[in-house]
Amino acid sequence: MVVKSIPVLLLALLASVAFASPAVAQSREVAVVVNPANSIKGITLIELRKVFAGEKHSWPGGVAIRPIVRPPGCHERFVLLRLLGMSENEYKHYWTAQVFRGEAGSEPATVPSVGMQKEALAAFPGAISLVDAGDVKPGMKVVKIDGLLPGETGYPLR
């Protein structure tokens, strides 16, 4: 009888982990990172929305803002879409319209990896990106959102 209960317990444990995974994934914090030479130390959530919506075009000092985003299916993209209050389809349509009206030259650059995010941040002085807090690398400057860093109570990006 004990032999039969072990597989049942193992199956139950595996099922609970499988069903808990989306909740765990959604609780991961996402850091806002910029080029290390950028003078900003923090940004408000409202300003962050404007940056990733293409409504804010330059940093203090006049450096052009260059949003760098992750592709669909990445946790950072999910957080970006929630920040903007859009679905993936709405995001694509939004940027197509921005470019068509001449309000943007192109939609934000999309990079497939954290390594490429780091390279883009180094290459473009006005670069800004969202990265899973656990994936922050040297050469990525983390900025506060509404005075908070990832890991602090009330941090808004998950």
Residue 124 included in any domain? yes
| CB-side neighbour CA atoms (13 Å) of 13 | 6
Task: Residue 43: give its domain's CATH number.
Answer: 3.40.190.10
Domain carrying residue 62: 28-145
Residue 13 included in any domain? no
**What does the pLDDT average to over 118-132?**
96
pLDDT tens-digit profile of 82-108? 999 999 999 999 999 999 999 988 999
Residues above pLDDT 90, as percent of the chain: 79
How many domains does one find in the chain? 1
Residue 1 included in any domain? no
Q: Cα(121)–Cα(5) distance, rounded to whole angstroms?
A: 53
The pTM score is: 0.82
Residue 23 included in any domain? no
Residue 73 included in any domain? yes
pLDDT tens-digit profile of 38-84? 999 999 999 999 999 999 999 998 999 999 999 999 999 999 999 99
Residue 7 included in any domain? no
Q: Which residues contact 46 (CB under 8 A, 6 or more apart)?
A: none
Structural tokens at position 38: 């950028």
Q: Cα(84)–Cα(59) distance, rounded to whole angstroms?
A: 20
Using an 8 Å Cβ cutoff, are 51 and 58 in contact?
no
Residue 158 included in any domain? no
